[in-house]
Amino acid sequence: MEADRELMETYLEELCQMLSRLPMQPLLEILRLLRDARQNNRRIYIFGNGGSAATASHMACDFGKNTVQPDRARFQVIALTDNMPTITAYANDEGYENIFSEPILSLGNAGDLAIAISGSGNSLNVLKGVQAARQIGMTTIGLTGFAGGKLKDLVDVCLVAPSNRIEQVEDAHMIIDHLLTLALRA
């Protein structure tokens, strides 16, 4: 029991230290891009794998519902992770690496916003989704961790959670979601 307590306390201490190093400039730039998308009726597409897929869905819910204000436009936000028939159809017929790029090419327009979430920054389907978004003139945002992976240099704005623990990277991405939601609702 004492070893469990020590493990958990250490994790929380490390998490707090990592969050204190979270870079503010990319976070503020992402907030600016989101406000611009809302003001200009641009769609926002969010995607990622595994835990990042869950974060994408959570983020779409938060932006879509928890930012509604009577005096402001509503966000037009879609989590590409929420349609399993589409994901499995593309995975089966076009390859798993295309599950995000194909819907982006079908739905996206120049000026829309793509938010790609990848703990490692190296998920091929996420990278291809970003490439497709760039191809049609969308603005791209990346949320990643570790050293940023390939995603860091592929997007217009990247926020790298400064941790090498996937759990803490995913924690940071959820906190980023909630920080943005709070600011967008204010």
| Contact between residue 113 and residue 155 where contact means Cβ atoms under 8 Å apart | no
Which residues does 121 contact at the CB level (< 8 Å), separation at least 6?
142, 144, 145, 146, 147, 148, 149, 150, 151, 152, 160
pLDDT in tens, 136-145: 999 999 999 9
HSE of 101, CA atoms in CB hemisphere, 13 A: 18
Which residue stretches of the chain have pLDDT < 50?
A: none
Whole-model pTM above 0.85? yes
What pLDDT does residue 1 have? 87
What pLDDT does residue 23 have? 97
What pLDDT does residue 168 have? 97
Q: Which amino acid is at 10?
A: T
pLDDT in tens, 85-129: 999 999 999 999 999 999 999 999 999 999 999 999 999 999 999
The CATH number that domain 2-185 falls under is 3.40.50.10490
